[in-house]
Each structure stands twice: as C-alpha cells, then as structure tokens.
Amino acid sequence: MGHSIASVLRHGGVRVVTCLEGRSDRTRVLAAEAGVEALPNIDEVVQQAEIILSVLVPAQAGSLAKLLADAIRRTGARPLVADCNAIAPATVGELAATLEAAGARFVDAGIIGSPPTLGARNTRIYASGEHASQLEVLNDHGLDVRVIGSNVGQASGLKMCYAALTKGLTALGTELHVAADVMGLSVPLREELAMSQPVIQAWLERLIPAMPPKAYRWVGEMEEIAATFESTGLTPRIMLGAADIYRLVEASSLGQETPELRTKGTSLIDVTSVLAQPLKDNSDQQRHVPKADATKR
C-alpha cells in the first residue's frame, strides 16, 4: 500500500521521502521502484516532510508514532501527521495524544480500496479531525482524500466497519469452505452455493485466493475491529474468530507467499485444500467429524 501511494504522489509531482531503517528488503525494493527518496534518519523525515503518512501493519502504528513524536520534539518540526493504519478509534486517539503532545498536527485517516494506481482514483483516503482538511491538498496530486468529520476516530471507525465486511466475510467464507472440505462436502456445497448464492460465492471465489499473502497483517486488523465493536457495546467474537482464521492461514504453507510470488492458493479450492489437509489428517481421531462417503469423494 505504501509504495503504491508513494508512486501516485511521485507522478503527481510530489517529492516523497522515507526512512528505511529496520525495514525489509522487499520494502526497500518497492520504495526504490516507486521513486521514494530514502533519508538517513527519522529526524530528517520530520524536518523535510510537510505531510507524514503512516502506513504500516496495525501492530507497528504505535511504535512509529512514538518515534515520530520523539523526532518532532528533538527537531522542533511541526509536520501534519496522518495515521492511515487499520486501527481502532481508541488506539488512534492514543496516537493522536502522543503526537499532539510533541507538537504535531494530527489527522485520523482510513484507506479503503485496493492500493491506488496511476490515473484511476480507486482508493479513498477518508480523513477526520480538526486538521483533516489540510490533507486534501493531496487531491491535487493524484489521491482521493475525503473528509468525513472533525473528530479523531471517525475515519478509523469507518475503516473498521468497512474492513469488517470485506475481511470478515473472507474469513467466514474461508472457514466454511475448509469445514466442508474436511467433511468431504466441498462438491455439494459449491453446487448449492453456485445455484442459490451465486453472487456471494463468486465474490468468495475472487477474494479468498487473494488473501493468503495478506493474512499475517489481517490478524492484527481483525483484533482492532473486535476492540472497536466491543467499545460500542457489541460482541468482539465474530472478529476474534476472523483473527483465528487469518492466524491459521499465516501458520500454513500459504503464509509464506508474497503478492509478487504465488505458487499455491491461487483458487478457492487450492486455498481450502491446503488449510483442510492437516485437519483431515487429525480427523480420524475426532469422532465428531462425519465420515465422507468413499463413493462421493
């Protein structure tokens, strides 16, 4: 996501800088390809950048906010910092407090859609908070920033609800297709769904194969959504279960793949077979799994 946004901004005439300390080789390659300038340290970043976009896995959003806050204090810079990560409104509130105490202007942002591509405004960056309108300047350089309110927590709340649908449904669909596979019921299930739920099944056939390389990131995101729902008084369990599913995918052989390198799991059946196999291997010891029909497999 980060390098795609950087690439759009570069082509939109914006100088894009970053600091690659401690980042993976994959990130370094992607940054170089996107024409992003690597600065030697984070102090340089907060001094040279007018706008800082934080785009990371959810679990790292907090440590980056602290690094940025320290750098802002050391340098006296006062950048606009937009947290664009998939984290709960309450967590964003804590990051806002950390950064504002250091002197930054903070924007809550939530990215919805695929990574942006040149020319196609297929990604919305929702923004909220007192300074959100200052992020709209990026609309002149290829992005699609939409301000939805003046309070921190609104943009991330929207992102949480949206991701609950897309990633929650992907987890649910993965689980029920794996369960059917373990029980030897994949064929009748897929026939029934193709007939009576064709649009949902087509959606799953498209989205599930794209998921495995991202599963490791989605574990934390599902937990952030669970926390968001719980904070409104609703059950966290659906989304905690979705996190369980992505943990299962991450731990499987599918979890080793990257978006650029896919060898397995390129269809729904591929994905569910890989996930179901170890469960089937155990199922002889589990008296509750119905036996598949030898003649029907």
Q: Does the footprint of a second copy cover residue 165 (CB under 8 A)?
A: yes
Q: Which of positions 29-88 make contact with a second copy (CB under 8 A)? A: 88
Q: Does the footprint of a second copy cover residue 249 (CB under 8 A)?
A: no
Burial, 296: exposed, middle or buried (Cβ in 10 Å; 0-12, 13-18, 19+)? Answer: exposed
With contacts defined by CB under 8 A, name the span among 28-36, 43-51, 59-67, 239-247 that binds a second copy. Answer: 239-247
Binding a second copy by CB under 8 A: which of 18, 98, 134, 154?
A: 154
Phi then psi for residue 124, to 5 deg, are -100, 135
C-alpha dihedral sign at 110, 113, 117, 119:
negative
Q: Which residue's CB is nearer to a second copy, number 71 or number 225?
A: 225
Binding a second copy by CB under 8 A: which of 2, 142, 157, 220?
A: 157
Q: Which amino acid, one-letter code, is at 65?
A: A
With contacts defined by CB under 8 A, name the span among 14-22, 26-34, 97-105, 142-150 that binds a second copy. Answer: 142-150
Residue with tokens 């907060």: 46
Contacts of 132 (CB under 8 A, 6+ apart): 107, 108, 147, 149, 150, 155
Q: Are 283 and 289 in contact (CB under 8 A)?
A: yes
C-alpha dihedral sign at 171, 229, 104, 9:
positive
CA angle 35, 155, 36 (to 5 degrees): 5
User: Side-chain half-sphere of 45: how many Cα atoms within 13 Å?
Assistant: 25
3-state secondary structure of 31: helix
Minimum distance between the CB of residue 92 and a second copy, rounded to whole angstroms? 8
Residue with tokens 């992505």: 246
Q: Which of positions 170-199 make contact with a second copy (CB under 8 A)? A: 171-173, 175-180, 182-185, 188-189, 192-193, 196-197, 199
Q: Which residue's CB is nearer to a second copy, number 52 or number 182?
A: 182
Q: Does the footprint of a second copy cover residue 284 (CB under 8 A)?
A: no
Q: Does the footprint of a second copy cover residue 238 (CB under 8 A)?
A: yes
Q: Does the footprint of a second copy cover residue 260 (CB under 8 A)?
A: no
Q: Does the footprint of a second copy cover residue 168 (CB under 8 A)?
A: yes
Q: Does the footprint of a second copy cover residue 216 (CB under 8 A)?
A: no
Q: Which residue's CB is nearer to a second copy, number 79 or number 220?
A: 220
Contacts within 8 Å (CB) and 24+ apart, 74-78: 74/43, 75/43, 75/46, 75/47, 76/103, 77/46, 77/47, 77/103, 78/103, 78/104, 78/105
Minimum distance between the CB of residue 268 and a second copy, rounded to whole angstroms? 13
What x/- string results for residues 79 through 118 when contact with a second copy is judged by CB under 8 A? ---------xxx--x------------------xx-----
Q: Are 121 and 144 in contact (CB under 8 A)?
A: yes
With contacts defined by CB under 8 A, name the span among 24-32, 68-76, 144-152, 208-216 that binds a second copy. Answer: 144-152
Binding a second copy by CB under 8 A: which of 14, 67, 169, 210?
A: 169
Q: Does the footprint of a second copy cover residue 233 (CB under 8 A)?
A: yes
Q: Does the footprint of a second copy cover residue 210 (CB under 8 A)?
A: no
